Structure 1
């Protein structure tokens, strides 16, 4: 037998407390592993470009190539964060 109040709601009904929002668990960008890996990869690219000389014939790994790869990493990072945030925090599902 289920106990109900005069309004016909069950004992476990929580509608009088308002709508409950569901958290997505998204973290800020500065604490995510993606940012840490991005910074380490960028640092690695710049260190590699500084250590490896372009050489006499220009076949080495220079600053222009380093900036190109960092640009590719940046675009990839921004796309991944954009996809992660797509429909993330503003999702208004109700329990």
Structure 2
């Protein structure tokens, strides 16, 4: 039985901060990939709206993910994310169907 869990987190950049948002999310994704319980972490940017970024993460268990305190309290620190982020970050669970 597969116990991993997957989540999509959607980030919206403030006007004019798309490049900064990309750099900050790349930093957080790089750090997240090194976390022991992280199975996968990938960053995407919408082609139809460059202000929207999506991070897909896969974790070893739901409990591990729930013990985290969200992106705003990431262990790597928020860095400059607060300066370019329109709140709230939307996080939804997803499951593989095929």
Fold-level similarity (TM above 0.5): no
Give the structure, 1 or 2, with the largest relative contact order (CA under 8 Å, sep 6 or more). Answer: 2
Whose strand fraction is larger, Structure 1's or Structure 2's?
A: 2
TM-score range, shorter chain: under 0.3
**Rg (Cα) greater in structure:** 1
